[in-house]
Structure 1
C-alpha cells in the first residue's frame, strides 16, 4: 500500500471502511515494513504473520479499528500459545497459557497482532539492550537508543512498521520511548486499564498498560476500549462517562493553570535542550491564554526515588521467583543478566518494614499532588533530563561491571545496602529520567508530547501530569499542541522522508 506508514490507525481503518484498501493489504504492507526495517532496528523479536492472516480471515469489519496492524510488548501482554520472554534468556521456552485481559480487550477493536516487541530484561531499564536479543535502535538516529522499557514498540511505530504498539509504564516506560522517538505516549490513571488475570496489580500499582502512537486520536480511541473495571484488580476506577475521542475537539475550559519546572527532583543536571523544550512550551501556552507559573511539585524527589527503588528491588526478586515457577527450575546468576541478579539480590535483603514505609511515601506524595492540582490543572516538566543516549553508553563499564559480578557471585546484598550503594544506584539509574516516576507512584495520568528536536535532530518530549482521572484534560491539551507549530513533524524522521 502506498504511503502506508504515513497513516495513523484511525486513518487506515477509514480506508477500509471506504473500501479503498483491504485489511489483507494492510497486513501485507506492515509485514513489508517490518522485514525492511527490522534488521537494522531490531524492534520486533517474535513475528506472528500466520496468526495475523488467520485474524484477517475471521475479522469483524464493523469493529472500530478492524484490520489495523498492531504489535504487542513482550511483557505482561500475553497472547495464548505465544512466547512471553520478558527479554530474558531464562524464559525463552515459556509460552502464555491464555490471553491477558489487555489483549482480550484489544481483540475487540479488530486490530491484527503481527508480533511482539523487544524489551530490556524484565522491563527494568530506560533503554532497550537485552543480552537475549541485542539492542533496539532509534529510527531517528540508529546510533541512539529509543528508550525503554517499551523501546521496541517505540522504534516500531516511529519507523512506520505499525501505527500503534502495545506498551506499559511502571516508571516512564511509555513516556520515555515516546519522548525519544517523537511519539505520543500517555500513562493512564492507576486502575484505568486492565493488568489481569495473571496480576491484580503491577509493580504495586505503579505500572499501567496502554499504547504508543503517532497521533493523539489513536491513543484516545484505544483508551476508550481498554478502560473499565476488571474483576480481581487491586485498583479500579469508574469508566470515563464520555468518549475520549469525542472530547478531543471540544475546547478546553478557560483560565486553566499550568505549573512548570525544569529542575531535576534529584538535584542532578538537566540538559539545555530539555529545558528549552519546556520553556518553549510554557511560553506557547501562556500566549494561548493559560495561566503559567514556574513552580516545583510539593514532594521530596530523593525520598521518592529511594521508595521507588525499594519497590523495584522487591519486584525483581519476585519476578525471578515467578520465572522459576513458570520454568520449573531454579534461577542462577548464569540465567539472567548480572544487573538483574544484583537487583533481585537487593530485593531479598529488603525488609517488609522498608517495603511498607516506601509505599507510605507514595501515598504521602499522592495526597500532596492532589492538593497541588486543586490549584494547578497541569504540571509540566521535561519528559527526560537528557536526549537519547548512544547505544551501549549506559552499560556498566570496567570496575562497575566487575563490582556487579562480584556482588552477585558473593551474595553481597546486605553489604551493598550498608555501604549506601542504594542511594548511588538511585541517582545513577534515574538521573537521565528523573521526572517520570512521580506519576507512577501517585497514580496520576501523565503524557509525553513530541514538541522539540535537538540541534542534531533527536526528539525530546515535554511531560504533562494531571489529577487522577483527568485523562480527558490531558487529551484535550495534547490535541491543542498537536495542531500547534511546536509538534514534531514525522517528516523530519529519516524513516518518513527521502533521507533514508
Structure 2
C-alpha cells in the first residue's frame, strides 16, 4: 500500500501493472458494482462490451508490449464518462434529456482519445441533470443520483453521477465537466478532489460546443490529489481550440502569499463548520511558512455578482441556440429547461453583451487581487449537501433556480467566468460525517500550484473514504 490511507486510481493501476489484477477483472468488478449499487443512481447507461474490449486489448498489450503498458498512467483502470461533454465512442450522450435518443455509437473526441491513451477503460455514462442545469443530478428521465455518504442527500451536480460512482467505489476515477462548479460541487458533496482547470488547458475538440464561450472545462473527479495531478498531466495541452493553448504550467516556490476569503458578509450564509474548515486550511498553510493575507468580501463581491449574472445568461442563450440549431421540440424538455430556452430566445444581444463585459471586468478585478496574493482559500459550499429534491426543475422560475444554486455554492462560477483554475478537496467532516470542503483558486496557468497546496492539505488526512474500490486486490 502507498502512504495514503486509502486506495485510489493510481494504486489500482499499480496493482494491475504488478500482475495482481488483470484489466478484464478490474472492469468486470466495476460492472458488478454498478449492478449491486444500482439504487445509487450513479450510472445512466452501460456498454459493458466497450469496456471489456478495451480491457482485453490492454491485457494483450501487457503481455506483448509490457514497456508500453507500463507507461500508461492508469493502465487497465475502469471508468465512466459523463452523460454530458466528451463525447466518447460507444457511449451516445443524451445530456439527461428526452430531447435526444440514446442511439448510435457516439462520436469521438480528443479528450476521449487521451483517456484511452492513459489506459482507462470506459464502460458507461454517469448521471447528469438535464443539460447540466442543476447542482443536483436528478433528471426527469432518471435515475435520481444519491450521495453514497447519505442516500437522502444529493451527490451534487452536474457531475453528480461521476462523484457518486467514485465515492462509492464503483470506479476509482471518473470523467466530469465544470461550467458553473459542476466538477467541484459534486466532489465537495462526496468527499472527493475536483479540479476545474485553467481555460484552454484541456482539449474539447474537434467539436467545441461544450466550452460555452469558455466557461466550461473537462477533467475528472478523483479520490486523491495525486490522481487529479496525474490525469491533468496526461490530458492537458495541445488543445487546438479557440482559446490560448496553455502548455506551460508552473508551480511557484518560495514564500507564497495565501489569501484567506472567510468573510462572506451578510449576503451568503456559510455554515460555521464550513467556514472554520476554510480558515483551518489557510492557517495550516501559514504554518508551512507562507504568508497569510486576509481578504474582505468587498474585494470579490462585484466579481461574484457579475459571474453569477454571466453564467445565467450564457447558459440561457446556449441552450436556446442548441435547440434552434437542431430544430428540436422543446416541449419534450423539463419545465425548467423550457424556461431557460425561452429566456435565451428573449434575451437582447445588447443584454448578453453587457453581461459578457461584466464578466471581463470581473476577471480583471480578480487579476488585481492576484497582484497581492498567489492563491485564494475560500468556501466551496455554504452548507451540507441538501436533501434530494432541493433543486426542483418542474417550475419555470429561472431566477429562483439560479438563486438556489448560488446560495448553495456562492463562489463556484467565479472560476468559470474568469477562466482561472480552482480545486476543491475535503478538509475534515461535520457532526454527521459529511465532508467539510475547501476551495483554492489561482491565476491562469497555476494549476500545479493548486495541486501542490492541495497535497499539503490532503496530507493532514482529515478525511477518510468510506467505500473500497471495486475489484481492488486485498
Q: Where does 1:64-463 land on structure 2 (aligned, <5 Å)? A: 64-95=73-104, 97-199=106-208, 202-231=211-240, 233-240=241-248, 253-264=253-264, 267-296=267-296, 297-300=299-302, 301-322=304-325, 325=326, 330-333=328-331, 335-395=332-392, 401=395, 404=396, 426-463=402-439
The number of equivalent residue pairs is: 453
Residue 46 to residue 200, structure 1, CA distance change in 2 (3 Å): closer
Contact 1:266–1:427 (CA<8 Å) still a contact in 2? no
TM-score by length of 1: 0.86
Give the match for residue 66 of structure 2. Answer: none
**Structure 1 residue 425, shift from structure 2 partner:** 5.1
Give the match for residue 57 of structure 1. Answer: 56
Question: Which stretch of structure 1 is more off in the superposition, 312-321 or 473-482?
Answer: 312-321
In 1, Cα distance between equivalents of 2:143 and 2:53? 30
Contact 1:264–1:435 (CA<8 Å) still a contact in 2? no
Contact 1:299–1:365 (CA<8 Å) still a contact in 2? no
Per-residue deviation, residues 182-224 of structure 1 (Å, max 9, x unmatched)? 0000000000001122216611100001000001111111111
TM-score by length of 2: 0.90
**Structure 1 residue 393, shift from structure 2 partner:** 2.6
SS state at 2:279 partner: helix
Give the match for residue 471 of structure 1. Answer: 447
**Structure 1 residue 225, shift from structure 2 partner:** 1.4
Across the aligned residues of Structure 1 and Structure 2, the Cα RMSD in angstroms comes to: 2.2
**Does residue 1:489 correspond to 2:464, yes or no?**
yes
Residue 426 to residue 241, structure 1, CA distance change in 2 (3 Å): closer
In 2, Cα distance between equivalents of 1:92 and 1:461? 37
In 1, Cα distance between equivalents of 2:328 and 2:23? 45
**Structure 1 residue 354, shift from structure 2 partner:** 1.4
Contact 1:266–1:431 (CA<8 Å) still a contact in 2? no
Contact 2:260–2:376 (CA<8 Å) still a contact in 1? yes
In 1, Cα distance between equivalents of 2:231 and 2:257? 28
In 2, Cα distance between equivalents of 1:471 and 1:356? 29
**Structure 1 residue 98, shift from structure 2 partner:** 2.3
> Unpaired runs of 5+ in structure 1?
405-420
Contact 2:275–2:379 (CA<8 Å) still a contact in 1? yes
In 2, Cα distance between equivalents of 1:468 and 1:187? 11
Question: Which stretch of structure 1 is more off in the superposition, 135-144 or 71-80?
Answer: 71-80
**Structure 1 residue 81, shift from structure 2 partner:** 4.1
Residue 201 to residue 143, structure 1, CA distance change in 2 (3 Å): closer
**Structure 1 residue 464, shift from structure 2 partner:** 0.3
SS state at 1:58 partner: helix
Residue 446 to residue 265, structure 1, CA distance change in 2 (3 Å): farther
> Unpaired runs of 5+ in structure 2?
63-68
SS state at 1:91 partner: coil
In 1, Cα distance between equivalents of 2:176 and 2:8? 17
SS state at 1:99 partner: coil
SS state at 1:143 partner: strand
Contact 1:190–1:443 (CA<8 Å) still a contact in 2? yes
SS state at 1:273 partner: helix
Contact 1:262–1:270 (CA<8 Å) still a contact in 2? no
In 1, Cα distance between equivalents of 2:333 and 2:142? 13
Question: Which stretch of structure 1 is more off in the superposition, 447-456 or 263-272?
Answer: 263-272
**Structure 1 residue 239, shift from structure 2 partner:** 1.5
Residue 69 to residue 451, structure 1, CA distance change in 2 (3 Å): same
Question: Which stretch of structure 1 is more off in the superposition, 221-230 or 112-121?
Answer: 221-230
In 1, Cα distance between equivalents of 2:90 and 2:14? 31
In 1, Cα distance between equivalents of 2:179 and 2:222? 18
SS state at 1:451 partner: strand
**Does residue 1:18 correspond to 2:18, yes or no?**
yes
SS state at 2:169 partner: coil
In 2, Cα distance between equivalents of 1:266 and 1:198? 42
Residue 25 to residue 96, structure 1, CA distance change in 2 (3 Å): closer
